[in-house]
Structure 1
Amino acid sequence: MTTRETESVPQPQPQPHRIQSRPKLFLKTLFAVLTGVTAFFAIGALDEDSGGRWQWTMAVVLGYATLIVQLLVGFGERLEAVQEGQNRRIRELYGKVDGLVPRSDEVTRLGLGYARVGEQGADIVKAFAEEELGRLALLMDHLGNSTADCPGENHEWLIDLTKCARRTLYATSTSVDRDFWSSEPARRYLVAQEAAIKSRGVEIRRVFLVDEESDVTAGLYQLRELQRTLGIDARIAVRALLQPAARMASLNGFVVFDGELCYETEPDIRVMPAKTTLKMTREQVEERISRFNMLWEAT
């Protein structure tokens, strides 16, 4: 290898913390050696009858003791620095939580309620509280990662999201959830939609999807008209009559809230809701909005 090639090869650089720690360790060792030497001569001067072995023993012991004390002090200082750093990060985290939680009173209620359960509740109640708190924590974690899911169809998510909507609610309803509209959760869902329309001016559109024209029954017409009386712009689409692109867009039932979050159900082999998913990434939501617009224009 030539001199030029040798010069061009990058040499490993020592880490800064190692550079700083080496002089400190050298000084501590030097101080311990000086302490031992001083002890050696001090013992010899104070007790001239002491043997050389005793002088060396005491010198070594005092030197080691001095070094150990210095190392322990340094370790304690580093430990305090680490603890202070952790405390600072915890304070920052709590500060972020306080700034990000507009309804901190609800968080306070949760903490106080959990504390009361721990003090007074029976074992089964405590276990149930732990389970529910863990479920809530897991949901918050998943929402922070822009996706969440649960087994089956989560009617409470659907109703709560409707109560939170401020601008738009675009939904498709397939044969999978046709029986849902005669259930008690559906009644609460429609009440929440009517309130969203009247009190907040939310625009709600719904497309009822059926496979064939023969599936457009009198009961489906009645369901559409009922929802129209509540202010919902409801339409019916027949898959067999759709263009291929629109037909592919009508696979699963979904609801897009405010153009920001998509609630979607996935059927199982028995055509029953097997899973509910919340999707919040921009790409996923925009894709569902594009699907809905394609179906809406085809009705």
Structure 2
Amino acid sequence: MERTTRIPPFLQKAAITVILGCAAYLTTTVTGQPEIWRLTISIFIGGASLIVQFMTDFDRRLGVVESSLTSHSEDMKKLVDGGFSRINEATRLFGLVEGSALRTDAVTQLVRNATEIGVGGPDIIYGFAQAEISRLAQLMKDLHGGQAAYDGEDHDWLLTLTGSAAVSIDATSTAMDTDFWPTELGRRYLRAQREAIKRGVRVRRLFIVAHPELLQDERIKAVCRSHEDLGVEVRVAAMCTLPPAAMLDPVFDFIVFDGGVSYEVSPALGSEHTPRPVVAKTTLDVREGLVRDRVHRFNDLWEAGQ
């Protein structure tokens, strides 16, 4: 490829100045002007052309600078506006946190610790942390809407609610699941109930059996004694002895914490190979009307127990 040689701008200006000066000198020579005028006019025209070239070049460069400054100013304005927008959003969110019932330090600690996740670590840790934060955000949204659901058997909600209870825990068990309490979750749940009782929380548990003769079953009595030893108030009721009002709705397991939230489990179809009933879904419900109905329902069932 043939390379094109570009003449430097200064040489271009000098060449134009010389050409115009020579042209002026020739013109004044043809017209018979004195030597002093020929030189004066040639120098004047050459100098004027040089000045015009420099001014033209200066104006072009000034236009480029103004355009660059305008673009830079717009970029800076967008950057500043975006920064203030983010600051305003952060301030608004922090104001909402301060105005909520949640502890401000706990929320800020979550944000601070979240910013340190993934720095220098494997990508899977970042992905795991992101999934947990998204899950927590969804839980907060669902609770605001009045109901949150979890597929399968929950562990964390049950223990956290028990540890957070301040007044009462009223629970029903529709199946005498003697295999549940020796499990790790069962033992942790019992320990959490014991700690709640030490805090002054009243814990009541109603076991509902299918037949009256099961009221004298030794395994059932043993489970009841293990709860009573921890300070749990225990009663047992048979399905056939329940009052008609309590039978209007299906009988299922639920726990009411502090009269403000209902923890409910929905069983799945089990088989002869499953050692204990399988939980299909766990639900937290904070809707005032539904929780009030659960409180009344538990009191009716409790009165039918013995």
State the TM-score bracket (shorter-chain normalisation): 0.5 to 0.7
Gaps of 5+ in 2: 1-73, 271-276
2:210 maps to amino acid? D
Instruction: Quote the residue 2:293 is aligned against.
Output: 287
Bigger shift: 116-125 or 256-265? 116-125
1:88-127 counterparts in 2 under 5 A? 88=88, 91-100=91-100, 102-127=102-127
The alignment of Structure 1 onto Structure 2 pairs a total of residues equal to 225
Gaps of 5+ in 1: 1-72
2:214 maps to amino acid? D
Task: Evaluate the alpha carbon distance shift between residue 205 and residue 148 of structure 1 in structure 2; reply closer, same or farther with a 3 A threshold.
Answer: same
Instruction: Quote the residue 2:159 is aligned against.
Output: 159
SS of the residue 2:303 aligns to: helix
Instruction: Quote the residue 1:208 is aligned against.
Output: 207
2: distance between equivalents of 1:228 and 1:291?
23
1: distance between equivalents of 2:92 and 2:112?
23
Task: Evaluate the alpha carbon distance shift between residue 151 and residue 284 of structure 1 in structure 2; reply closer, same or farther with a 3 A threshold.
Answer: same
1:294 maps to amino acid? D
Deviation (angstroms), 1:111? 2.5
Per-residue CA deviations over 1:36-78 (Å, capped at 9, x if unaligned) read xxxxxxxxxxxxxxxxxxxxxxxxxxxxxxxxxxxxx9xxx9x
2: distance between equivalents of 1:205 and 1:289?
12
Does structure 1 residue 276 correspond to structure 2 residue 275? Answer: no
TM-score relative to the length of structure 1: 0.67
Per-residue CA deviations over 1:189-212 (Å, capped at 9, x if unaligned) read 1111111111x2111111001111
2: distance between equivalents of 1:179 and 1:266?
18
Instruction: Quote the residue 1:13 is aligned against.
Output: none
SS of the residue 1:175 aligns to: coil
Contact 1:265 1:274 in 2 (8 A): yes
TM-score relative to the length of structure 2: 0.66
Deviation (angstroms), 1:114? 2.4
2: distance between equivalents of 1:93 and 1:117?
21
Task: Evaluate the alpha carbon distance shift between residue 162 and residue 132 of structure 1 in structure 2; reply closer, same or farther with a 3 A threshold.
Answer: same
Q: Percent identity?
A: 39
Bigger shift: 207-216 or 145-154? 207-216
Deviation (angstroms), 1:117? 2.1
Contact 2:161 2:257 in 1 (8 A): yes
Instruction: Quote the residue 1:220 is aligned against.
Output: 220
Contact 2:176 2:209 in 1 (8 A): no
Per-residue CA deviations over 1:159-202 (Å, capped at 9, x if unaligned) read 1101111111111012175532221111111111111111x211
Per-residue CA deviations over 1:74-108 (Å, capped at 9, x if unaligned) read xxx9xx99997886565333201123264333323
2:296 maps to amino acid? S
1:133-172 counterparts in 2 under 5 A? 133-172=133-172
Task: Evaluate the alpha carbon distance shift between residue 273 and residue 146 of structure 1 in structure 2; reply closer, same or farther with a 3 A threshold.
Answer: same
1:1-299 counterparts in 2 under 5 A? 88=88, 91-100=91-100, 102-175=102-175, 177-198=177-198, 200-216=199-215, 217-249=217-249, 251-270=251-270, 271-299=277-305
SS of the residue 1:118 aligns to: coil
SS of the residue 1:191 aligns to: helix
- Cα RMSD over matched residues? 2.9
Per-residue CA deviations over 1:95-128 (Å, capped at 9, x if unaligned) read 0112326433332332233222221220111111
SS of the residue 2:180 aligns to: helix
2: distance between equivalents of 1:88 and 1:124?
32
Task: Evaluate the alpha carbon distance shift between residue 187 and residue 238 of structure 1 in structure 2; reply closer, same or farther with a 3 A threshold.
Answer: same
Instruction: Quote the residue 1:51 is aligned against.
Output: none
Contact 1:250 1:291 in 2 (8 A): no
1: distance between equivalents of 2:191 and 2:283?
23
Q: Which protein has the larger Cα radius of gyration, Structure 1 or Structure 2?
A: 2
1:206 maps to amino acid? R
2: distance between equivalents of 1:86 and 1:119?
23
SS of the residue 1:201 aligns to: coil
